[in-house]
Amino acid sequence: MVCPTTPMSQKANLGNVADLGVCLPFRIPHLYGGLAEIQGILRGGKEVLILDFEMKESVLDLLSLKTNVVTIPLAEIAGLELRKGWFSRWIVIAVNRLEALRQVPGSKAGEIRLKIGRKHTATAEEFVSRVQMALTTHGLKKLINDME
């Protein structure tokens, strides 16, 4: 899935996650003892990651319980990686402060695991790579500003 703003083939402006042009579908399953799950889209904004999601009850899959948008500034992200297992793919986002993930159900100890569908693996790999580049660029800019 590609966001309508920018095609993936264009080079991203380093440090600007909004230029990624990627909307990555994700799930957070097994919430509240398996009674609910989150389905959403992970995308980049200017100097932020955006989690746009809705919580659904998972017993009958009829009820949408809550819709939410959470922005996580790059400065709050301690790490981001794609973990691959035999049957699943996860993007793991770790933050510096618990407050950054307060509104995301399923976050534990400053970390959230977003389950990615197998067909979105290549997009997830590129997204993670570009976000890591943006995080590095953001850190370098901060270091240069602190030195001045």
Q: In this predicted structure, which of 19-23, 35-39, 116-120, 133-137 has the lowest mean pLDDT?
A: 19-23
pTM summary value: 0.82
DSSP string, 90-138: EEEEEESSGGGGTTSTT-BTTEEEEEE-GGGHHHHHHHHHHHHHHHHHH
- Domains in the chain (CATH in brackets) are 17-147 (2.30.29.30)
Measure the CA–CA gap between 19 and 84, rounded to whole angstroms: 25
Q: How far is CA 59 from CA 32, 36, 37, 102, 148, in A?
A: 12, 7, 10, 25, 56
Residue 17, token pair as written in the block: 């996650």
Strands 36-45 and 48-57: antiparallel
Tens-place pLDDT, residues 93-131 = 999 999 999 999 999 999 999 999 999 999 999 999 989
Tens-place pLDDT, residues 55-80 = 888 777 666 777 899 999 999 999 99
What's the gap between Cα 51 and its chain centre? 6
Measure the CA–CA gap between 142 and 136, rounded to whole angstroms: 10
Torsion angle of C-alpha atoms 11, 13, 15, 19, degrees rounded to 10? -80
